[in-house]
Structures are given as C-alpha cells and as structure tokens.
Amino acid sequence: MRSAFYNDLNRFDLHKLKWYPIEIKSVETGPSARMNAAMVIKQGIVYIYGGLKELDEKKQVKIIDKKIFR
C-alpha cells in the first residue's frame, strides 16, 4: 500500500481539540515530508526531530535530523 506524504505542518490545540496549519515562510526552510516525527513548540519556536521518509512503495528510511523554525 502506498502512503501519501505531504509537505505541510499543523499544530493541535489541546483546549479547542482542533488542528491549525503552521505557516512556513519558505518551502526551502520548511521540513522535508515525513511521518512519525517528534515535534514540540516552545516559546514560539518549532522543534522537529526524526521521522520516516518513503523512498518508494516498499522502502522507508529513518530521518535522523533536527529542524528548528522560528
């Protein structure tokens, strides 16, 4: 089964139980498409660590990196 990877970023509001898009100023500075990454927002800074990236229908690779967005 083929997975769909999107290059978008969203945050979940725990009080309103609703998802909101996060605007990235430039696609070049945004994170690469991935799944199963860890993400936290602290004092307006987004930290993303790791995840999986699909190479083709049968192969996925681990992403071991850290991205920081202000």
The full DSSP string for 11-38 is: EEETTTTEEEE---S-TTTSPPS-BS-E
Tell me, what's the pLDDT at 39?
82
Tell me, what's the pLDDT at 49?
85
Asked if 62 and 52 count as a contact pair (C-beta separation under 8 A), the reply is yes
DSSP 8-state secondary structure symbol assigned to residue 14? T
Can you give the pTM of this predicted structure? 0.56
- Per-residue pLDDT tens for 14-36? 999 999 997 777 656 667 778 78
> How far, rounded to the nearest angstrom, does the alpha carbon of residue 69 sit from its chain's CA centroid?
11
